[in-house]
């Protein structure tokens, strides 16, 4: 098999400089300054130290190895918006814990990153407290009571665009109930206190930054609905550096802060939401809102070479599919070097197998028997691994084809006590269904498209899913969101990570974790390294442009892979423990911002 030869720049490991750092570095460093080196990081644990020199970026790749992470001695918040990360840190510095800060960050994202972090959507939260307790909260949207299996099929039996655009595309939103529930159970502050930064940002406004202005507010989706007047007045989106206020949203947030989630699910916000639904033929009713409940679920835990992953169970597929893939990969460990054809091949084959199970078997456990234990067992992984030929790509049996858009958001929080929270939340597509709740000041999700709206036909992520995930009233649509917490072999908190990007969430989160624990990369290199993706169908191994060398791509084709390129794969926001504190790295492909102290 051709190797990557000298077109790979191997990362060098300077033991001398690592020791120099250890000798002089402990103690506070300002946010944004470089923290420990990669060797220093690897020295946190010997398994990773052994792998420390194996990371590699191909020539021509858009990022250089050796970038700095943000260092925080005490705590760290990483999200796609500086305002939202700062909101979390403000709450931490005021004495809040990681859950308080996560909820503050979540509400702030609803203001400063409305295309994705929005109260009209839903999400998942993974929590690990410093005393070792773990919890996962599912506040995924649910199908309204009037939803039906074939509601998005046209007379020709083909999917219409109604699962993605307009009033019929929304599930009953879960974000407000979920964040309030997490706060009530594990937070220490009142809703009013943690929502204060978000309220301020909405009411007093904030200076438009690159994160907000990159959101394309003058798009055709928004132009069809009420949000146009605020986001694209006179055909012009708010420009960077100008003050952006959202008075309707400020009023909505202040009602939630004062009255709790009831204001959203039963009070005046519910009235505005239902009135908006009725304006455009939507089916969400007051009863749907009133009946909405977030659900605490038992985390899916996995073990990869001594590291523990604590992550999300169904209604997200994230935890099961990530652990299943890692279990298969463990059979091949130590894995070939990152960037090699052998590595891309085995990762793609493992992903193919676990996504085949995901797409057919995973769904809301209240509606389908979901074989979590079987899919995540080491024995099953051995059987699957035995099906992988090291030199030849297999074929995904027919089930059907696909494509992909944007927007979800993940944020990671660690506090000074060592409590950790990973949260992923979404409207599904950018600005969701496009529908803006007039008076309420927020966009609604188009999460109904995550169901198998037509089993066997691809959804907007190209995912071809089965009957288990067909639409039923009151059911939660299968997600890929994967907020994940990783413990090192000593059971100490090592990482918090997660991503946006539809099915690539699972792959990218797993790859960042693998880059750290298998390839010994620093968190910064792990985040900057090229990513791969395979989701069984379409039967294609995708890589980021210039993320594999030409020789590696040729090898993969010779092995029988169909390969495709993407401009970029997923938006990950991660934190990792390092000597003396935390490294935070916001997604370099997007505009992730880590704030630590
Ligand atoms: O729950 C899911 O898996 C999708 N609704 C996530 C969508 C997403 O990540 C869009 N992109 N950035």
Q: Which string of DSSP letters, residue by residue, matches 125-165?
A: EEEE-TTS-EEEEEE--B--TT--TTTTB-TTSSB-GGGTS
Q: Give the three-state DSSP class for 314.
A: coil
Taking a C-beta distance cutoff of 8 angstroms, is the pair 427, 407 a contact?
yes
Length reported for the chain: 597
Nearest atom in ligand 1 to the alpha carbon of residue 480 is 3
Q: Confirm or reject: Cβ of 450 under 6 Å from ligand 1.
A: yes
CA of 430 to the centre of ligand 1 (A): 9
Pocket test for ligand 1, best of 426, 448, 569 (most atoms within 8 A of CB): 426
**What pLDDT is stored for residue 68 in this prediction?**
93
Q: Encoding tokens for residue 537?
A: 């169908």
**What pLDDT is stored for residue 399 in this prediction?**
53
Taking a C-beta distance cutoff of 8 angstroms, is the pair 591, 210 a contact?
yes
What's phi and psi for 52, nearest 5 deg?
-60, -25
**What pLDDT is stored for residue 406 in this prediction?**
52
CA of 559 to the centre of ligand 1 (A): 31
Q: Give the three-state DSSP class for 389.
A: strand
Taking a C-beta distance cutoff of 8 angstroms, is the pair 195, 183 a contact?
no
Active-site residues, by number, are: 408
336 conformational bin, left if phi > 0, alpha if psi -120 to 50, beta if neither: beta
Q: Give the three-state DSSP class for 542.
A: strand
Question: Any residues with CB less than 8 A from the CB of 466 and at least 6 apart, and which?
Answer: 359, 360, 361, 399, 452, 455, 456
Q: Confirm or reject: Cβ of 141 under 6 Å from ligand 1.
A: no
Q: Confirm or reject: Cβ of 426 under 6 Å from ligand 1.
A: yes
Relative orientation angle of helices 378-385 and 341-361, to the nearest 10 degrees: 120
- CA-based max dimension of the chain: 72
- Nearest residue (by CA) to ligand 1, atom 8, is 502
Q: Confirm or reject: Cβ of 502 under 6 Å from ligand 1.
A: yes
Residue 240, CA distances (Å) to 231, 385, 536 in order: 13, 50, 41
Strand ranges for 34-175 from DSSP E: 56-58, 70-72, 76-79, 122-128, 134-139
Apex CA 116: angle with CA 110 and CA 120, to 5°?
A: 60
Taking a C-beta distance cutoff of 8 angstroms, is the pair 182, 422 a contact?
no
pLDDT beneath 50: ranges in the chain:
1-43, 45-55, 400-405
Q: Give the three-state DSSP class for 10.
A: strand
Closest to 582 (Cα-Cα) out of 417, 434, 455: 417
Distance, in Å, from the CA atom of 399 to the CA atom of 401, rounded to the nearest integer, reads 8
Q: Which string of DSSP letters, residue by residue, matches 455-506?
A: TTS--TT-----GGG---TTPBPPB----EEEE-TTS-EEEEE-EESTTHHH
Residue 113, CA distances (Å) to 99, 407, 425, 480 in order: 20, 10, 12, 20
Q: Give the three-state DSSP class for 285.
A: coil
Distance, in Å, from the CA atom of 583 to the CA atom of 72, rounded to the nearest integer, reads 6
Distance, in Å, from the CA atom of 581 to the CA atom of 595, rounded to the nearest integer, reads 13
CA of 150 to the centre of ligand 1 (A): 22
CA of 391 to the centre of ligand 1 (A): 33
Distance, in Å, from the CA atom of 572 to the CA atom of 284, rounded to the nearest integer, reads 32
Pocket test for ligand 1, best of 118, 315, 316, 428 (most atoms within 8 A of CB): 428
Domains and CATH numbers, the chain: 15-22+35-71+298-403+481-575 (1.10.246.130), 72-124+135-296+412-469 (no CATH)
- pLDDT single digits (tens) 234-243: 888 898 999 9
What's phi and psi for 164, nearest 5 deg?
-120, -30
DSSP state for residue 101 in the 8-state scheme: H
Apex CA 195: angle with CA 192 and CA 196, to 5°?
A: 85
Closest to 248 (Cα-Cα) out of 84, 444, 438, 108: 438
CA of 63 to the centre of ligand 1 (A): 25
Distance, in Å, from the CA atom of 538 to the CA atom of 554, rounded to the nearest integer, reads 20
Taking a C-beta distance cutoff of 8 angstroms, is the pair 399, 452 a contact?
no
Residue 151, CA distances (Å) to 349, 465, 467 in order: 35, 16, 15
- The pairing of strands 541-544 and 563-566 is parallel
Determine the distance from the C-alpha atom of residue 463 to the mean position of all C-alpha atoms in its chain, rounded to a whole number.
Answer: 17
Closest to 493 (Cα-Cα) out of 39, 45, 5: 45
**What pLDDT is stored for residue 56 in this prediction?**
67
Distance, in Å, from the CA atom of 584 to the CA atom of 582, rounded to the nearest integer, reads 6
Full-model pTM = 0.90
Q: Confirm or reject: Cβ of 507 under 6 Å from ligand 1.
A: no
Q: Give the three-state DSSP class for 597.
A: coil
């Amino acid at each position: 098999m051709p190797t990557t030869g000298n077109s790979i720049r191997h990362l060098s490991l300077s033991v001398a400089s690592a020791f120099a750092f250890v000798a002089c570095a402990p103690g506070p460093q300002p946010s944004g300054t470089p923290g420990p080196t990669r060797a220093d990081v690897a020295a946190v644990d010997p398994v990773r130290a052994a792998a420390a020199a194996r990371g590699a970026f191909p020539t021509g790749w858009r990022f250089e190895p050796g970038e700095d992470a943000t260092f925080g001695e005490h705590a760290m918040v990483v999200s796609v918006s500086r305002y939202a990360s700062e909101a979390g840190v403000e709450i931490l510095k005021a004495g809040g814990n990681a859950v308080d800060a996560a909820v503050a960050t979540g509400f702030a994202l609803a203001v400063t990153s409305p295309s994705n972090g929005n109260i009209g959507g839903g999400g998942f939260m993974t929590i690990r407290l410093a005393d070792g307790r773990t919890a996962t909260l599912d506040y995924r949207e649910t199908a309204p009571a009037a939803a039906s299996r074939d509601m998005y099929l046209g007379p020709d039996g083909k999917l219409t665009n109604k699962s993605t655009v307009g009033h019929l595309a929304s599930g009953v939103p879960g974000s407000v109930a979920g964040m309030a529930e997490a706060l009530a159970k594990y937070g220490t502050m009142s809703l009013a206190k943690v929502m204060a930064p978000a309220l301020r940002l909405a009411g007093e406004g904030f200076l438009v930054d690159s994160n907000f202005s990159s959101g394309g507010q003058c798009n055709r989706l928004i132009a069809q609905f009420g949000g146009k007047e605020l986001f694209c007045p006179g055909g012009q989106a708010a420009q960077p550096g100008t003050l952006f206020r959202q008075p309707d949203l400020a009023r909505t947030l202040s009602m939630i802060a004062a009255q709790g989630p009831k204001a959203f699910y039963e009070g005046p916000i519910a009235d505005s939401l239902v009135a908006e639904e009725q304006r455009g033929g939507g089916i969400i009713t007051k009863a749907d809102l009133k009946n909405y409940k977030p659900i605490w679920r038992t985390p899916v835990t996995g073990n990869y070479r001594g590291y523990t992953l604590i992550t999300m169970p169904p209604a997200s597929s994230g935890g099961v599919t990530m652990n299943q893939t890692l279990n298969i990969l463990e059979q091949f460990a130590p894995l070939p070097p990152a960037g090699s054809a052998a590595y891309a091949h085995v990762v793609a084959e493992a992903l193919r197998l676990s996504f085949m199970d995901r797409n057919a078997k995973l769904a809301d456990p209240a509606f389908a028997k979901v074989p979590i234990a079987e899919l995540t067992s080491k024995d099953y992984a051995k059987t699957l691994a035995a099906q992988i030929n090291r030199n030849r790509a297999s074929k995904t049996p027919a089930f059907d084809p696909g494509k992909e858009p944007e927007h979800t958001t993940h944020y990671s929080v660690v506090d000074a006590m060592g409590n950790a929270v990973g949260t992923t939340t979404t409207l599904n597509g950018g600005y969701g269904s496009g529908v803006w709740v007039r008076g309420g000041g927020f966009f609604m999700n188009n999460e109904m498209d995550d169901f198998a709206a037509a089993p066997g036909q691809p959804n907007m992520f190209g995912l071809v899913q089965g009957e288990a995930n067909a639409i039923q009233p009151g059911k939660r649509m299968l997600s890929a969101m994967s907020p994940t917490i990783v413990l090192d072999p000593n059971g100490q908190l090592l990482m918090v990570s997660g991503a946006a990007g539809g099915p690539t969430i699972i792959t990218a989160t797993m790859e960042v974790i693998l880059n750290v624990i298998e390839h010994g990369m620093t968190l910064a290199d792990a985040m900057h390294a090229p990513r791969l993706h395979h989701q069984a169908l379409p039967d294609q191994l995708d890589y980021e442009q210039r993320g594999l060398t030409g020789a590696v791509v040729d090898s993969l084709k010779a092995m029988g892979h169909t390969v495709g390129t993407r401009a970029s794969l997923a938006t990950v926001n991660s934190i990792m423990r390092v000597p003396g504190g935390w490294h935070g790295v916001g997604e370099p492909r997007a505009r992730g911002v880590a704030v630590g102290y």
